[in-house]
């Protein structure tokens, strides 16, 4: 996974655990796509100050991830869900002659699809 993408996901998962100022800087950086100098101008901080806050915030989020593994679990669950859907489709195809089993499997499939789409 690209480092920038991983950082944005870490911010999505752990951003609320940062200070208001750290969240503001990272929001401009990740969501508004501002550069460090532009952020500094917006919040009246030097570019170096913005950079230091960005690095510190990134380190904090990576530390949270190393302890909580929310991002890792998210991707593991997503992969497991995709695998479960694939297996379900195979089972459904094999049970096409049993009407009730087919209906139950279709209901289960629609639930799993809704969960998958929410990611």
pLDDT tens, N- to C-terminus, the chain (119 residues): 789 899 999 999 999 999 999 999 999 999 999 999 999 999 999 999 999 999 999 999 999 999 999 999 999 888 888 888 888 887 877 776 676 777 778 888 888 888 888 76
Angle between helices 36-43 and 47-68 (to 10 degrees): 110
Please, which residues have CB within 8 angstroms of residue 67's CB and are 6 or more apart in sequence?
Answer: none
The whole-model pTM stands at 0.73
The shares of helix, strand and coil residues in the chain, as percent rounded to the nearest 5, are 85, 0, 15
């Amino acid at each position: 996974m690209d480092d920038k993408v991983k950082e944005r996901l870490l911010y999505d998962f752990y951003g609320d655990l940062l200070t208001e100022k750290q969240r503001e800087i990272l929001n401009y950086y990740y969501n508004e796509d501002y550069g460090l100098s532009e952020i500094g101008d917006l919040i009246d901080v030097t570019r170096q100050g913005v950079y230091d806050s960005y690095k510190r915030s990134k380190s904090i989020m990576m530390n949270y991830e190393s302890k909580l593994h929310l991002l890792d679990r998210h991707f593991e669950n997503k992969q497991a869900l995709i695998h479960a859907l694939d297996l379900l489709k195979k089972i459904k195809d094999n049970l096409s002659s049993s009407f009730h089993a087919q209906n139950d499997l279709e209901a289960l499939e629609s639930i799993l699809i809704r969960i998958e789409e929410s990611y």
